[in-house]
Amino acid sequence: MLEPTKTAIENFRRKGFKAEFFEDKNAALKYILDKIGSETVGIGGSMTIQELGWAPTLQARGEVLWHWLKKEPGILERENAAPVYITSANAISADGAIVNIDANGNRIAATAFGQKKVFIVAGENKIESDIPAALLRAKNVGAPLNAKRLARKTPCAIKGDKCYNCLSPERICRTTSIITFPPTNIETHIVLLSGSWGF
């Protein structure tokens, strides 16, 4: 475990989050499976979850609502109404905060209100020292690479290199959240993984 990861785990726990680190992605999935039973799971847009390849195992256990698996009217609203929500973060602050930038605001809404349990899954590549550094990462690494992946007509999508603070109609940076403590009534788990996952 890298030193910033150790600091992050300590700070998240101090604030009341459930925080764990896993060298092995299968051990991380087992940790989540043990805590969710057969509850319906919603998944936010997440390259991390896609790269981890967890969807089939989650589907073998119960209903999974994920607009990346099945595009249908109302899917975002339905996944946001699931009692369990799994997503990643654009950045994790080692002082114990989660930073996300959304276009739709779906991850931001689901991680802040309405769920029984939320699992934020992130590789050590997402961990920054503090909230300003985490915001910089989200803005200059996560958002441009997501704009490039989505082939948006934004200046950052050409090279995926940095934010140009565009006014494009296709701008993906529309809502930003900084979760500093577990939202009231949501059991919030931070699941940190060895290595680099997503962006």
Q: Is 191 in the site for ligand SF4 (CB under 6 A)?
A: no
- Per the DSSP assignment, residues forming a β-bridge with 153 are none
Stretch that binds ligand SF4, among 49-57, 79-87, 92-100, 163-171 (CB under 6 A): 163-171
Q: Which amino acid is at 131?
A: I
Q: Is 171 in the site for ligand SF4 (CB under 6 A)?
A: yes
Stretch that binds ligand SF4, among 36-44, 45-53, 79-87, 166-174 (CB under 6 A): 166-174
Q: Is 166 in the site for ligand SF4 (CB under 6 A)?
A: yes
Name, in order, each residue with C-beta under 8 angstroms of 178's C-beta and a sequence gap of 6 or more.
97, 98, 99, 131, 134, 135
Q: Is 154 in the site for ligand SF4 (CB under 6 A)?
A: yes
Burial class (CB in 10 A: 0-12, 13-18, 19+), 132: exposed
* Candidate residues 8, 108, 163, 186; the one interacting with ligand SF4 per rule CB under 6 A: 163
How far apart are CB 108 and ligand SF4 at their closest, in Å? 15
Task: Convert 138-159 to b/e letters by CB count within 10 Å (16 or more is b).
Answer: bbebbbbbbbbeeebebbbbee
The C-alpha atoms of residue 142 and residue 48 are separated, in whole angstroms, by: 12
Q: Is 118 in the site for ligand SF4 (CB under 6 A)?
A: no
Stretch that binds ligand SF4, among 47-55, 72-80, 109-117, 165-173 (CB under 6 A): 165-173
Site string for ligand SF4, 122-151 (x = CB under 6 A): ---------------------xx--x----
Q: Is 156 in the site for ligand SF4 (CB under 6 A)?
A: yes
Name, in order, each residue with C-beta under 8 angstroms of 102's C-beta and a sequence gap of 6 or more.
108, 172, 174, 175, 176, 177
Burial class (CB in 10 A: 0-12, 13-18, 19+), 79: buried
Q: Are 47 and 88 in contact (CB under 8 A)?
A: yes
* Candidate residues 4, 114, 155, 160; the one interacting with ligand SF4 per rule CB under 6 A: 155
Q: Is 21 in the site for ligand SF4 (CB under 6 A)?
A: no
List residues near ligand SF4 by CB under 6 A: 143-144, 147, 154-156, 163-166, 168, 171-173
